[in-house]
Structure 1
Amino acid sequence: MIDTFLKGNIMAAENNLTIQKNCQYELVIKKSRFICSLSRIKDEDDAQQFISQVQADNRKATHNCFAYQVGKDDHIQRESDNGEPSGTAGVPILQALQMEKLHDVCAVVTRYFGGIKLGAGGLIRAYSNVTTDAIHQAGIVNRVLQQLLTITVDYAEHDALTYYLKQHDLAIDHEEYGVKVAVTIFVDQNESQAVQDALTNRFNGRLTIKAAGQHIREVPVTNAN
């Protein structure tokens, strides 16, 4: 039962999804250019600085609309139509972030008007689609809190241990060789105790395990919905 648990795929924790990288993506719709700029943010100050930078870089644009959500449980959410008809830009941008369950992300969509009006429905689709396409280009990651565990074994058990770790998709960070072998691995925080129990049972106590700190691992997510 424990082995089955260890072999299971990592499931995305929706409250930890964000973009893999900052990016820009452009769509041309009826001669209007829609350019979505995406950035990770840590707080509202980060968001405002990013928005200001995009606006400064696109002073001649017709509109620089934006949306962002940040903070624990996305308790800060802002959006702006920046002169577009009410509800046709900021809200669709924000909803695109929400549909992908992203957190700590700011999206600014710059529009250079091409002379052809799109109507309310057309604007909503344009702002939504360019944001969604930008997200897909940036990629999505799940930020997983991991525990480092250092496993110390005799040399006679080393091959069996590394085989076990490989079979259960437990990544080795590094190894140190002395009187015994110390193998440091990464495990998801919520799996740490189960991994330790499984290893202790498998090797009948012929090893020692020590916690060696924590870090965040970013796991690419192919489909967040």
Structure 2
Amino acid sequence: MSPPRAADAQPLPGTLAAAVDHELVIKRSRFLAHLSPAASVEEADAVVARVRKELWDARHHCVALVVGAHADAQRSSDDGEPSGTAGVPMLEVLRHRRVTDVVAVVSRYFGGVLLGAGGLVRAYSGAVSAALDDAAASGLLLRRATRTEVTLDVPHADAGRIDHLLRDWSGAHDALLDGVAYAEAARFTLLVPPGELGRLREDLAAASAGTLTPVAGADRVVDLPAPSL
């Protein structure tokens, strides 16, 4: 088996497959958390603008965002709450939970009771954390990983058998069968963990008496289902 590449040494941050909402009520104040995928700061800003428009009567719209494959850009806003009580705690939750390409907006409807700095920190961070828990429970959290794109040309007569083999192999080796195109031969495309390329070659050689050879291409960052809770 080939040794793992450096790209696999440190897991990449995960992300969201779709938006998720969660409401938290503390001493009659309502904290409406909206978390959404956002592949850029511009996309995140558009989400924030939409939430502000939809929930125009909320007193505060506090924001935290993390974007980039390695969580390269991070930003937060308290939007009028006491400094450090909203945006930064929200951002810390996103960092701690290791997600990226995500924007979190927590809109607050004031309930008439002051919560104090500690209460606000717990409320804003708790709303984001609860929304991420909901996302995990709903299968909306994705993990990201480096995968090598591999192509394999198979004679049509063997395509059905190899299709089953590749599906079983992918499930056992954390790979993905990305598609098949039919022309002069059936061309299968797989996304394979870099450290499993040697095993794939060996297993295909054994299954085809050495007639099938996968061709490794470029590495890609792909979104994969997160493990079930």
Do the two structures share a fold, i.e. TM-score over 0.5?
yes
Does residue 116 (structure 1) correspond to residue 113 (structure 2)? The answer is yes
1:152, 1:208 within 8 Å by CA — same for their partners in 2? no
1:15, 1:103 within 8 Å by CA — same for their partners in 2? no
Does residue 141 (structure 1) correspond to residue 142 (structure 2)? The answer is yes
1:65, 1:110 within 8 Å by CA — same for their partners in 2? yes
Counterpart of 1:197 (choices 192, 201, 216) is 201
Q: Give the deviation of 1:67 after TM superposition.
A: 0.8
Q: In structure 2, give the amino acid aligned to 1:182.
A: A
Q: Give the deviation of 1:36 after TM superposition.
A: 0.8
Q: Give the deviation of 1:13 after TM superposition.
A: 6.3
Structure 2 CA distance for aligned equivalents of residues 187 and 34 of structure 1: 41
Structure 2 CA distance for aligned equivalents of residues 151 and 191 of structure 1: 22
TM-score when normalising by structure 2:
0.77
Counterpart of 1:209 (choices 211, 214, 225) is 214
1:20, 1:220 within 8 Å by CA — same for their partners in 2? no
Q: In structure 2, give the amino acid aligned to 1:174.
A: V
SS at match of 2:211: coil
Q: Deviations over 1:166-225 (max 9, x none)?
A: 4422654336486xx62514222525632542245313322243468887643121479x
Regions of 4+ moved over 3 Å: 11-14, 143-146, 157-164, 174-178, 208-217
Cα 1:175–1:75 change in 2 (3 A) is closer
Aligned alpha-carbon RMSD (Å): 3.2
Q: In structure 1, give the amino acid aligned to 2:24.
A: L
Q: Give the deviation of 1:62 after TM superposition.
A: 1.3
Structure 1 CA distance for aligned equivalents of residues 75 and 176 of structure 2: 39
Structure 1 CA distance for aligned equivalents of residues 180 and 72 of structure 2: 39
Corresponding residue for residue 85 of structure 1: 82
User: Size of the alignment, in residue pairs?
Assistant: 214
Structure 2 CA distance for aligned equivalents of residues 56 and 145 of structure 1: 38
Corresponding residue for residue 150 of structure 1: 152
List runs of 5+ in structure 1 lacking aligned partners.
6-10
Q: In structure 1, give the amino acid aligned to 2:123.
A: A
TM-score when normalising by structure 1:
0.78
Counterpart of 1:219 (choices 209, 220, 224) is 224
Q: Give the deviation of 1:93 after TM superposition.
A: 0.5
Q: Percent identity?
A: 31
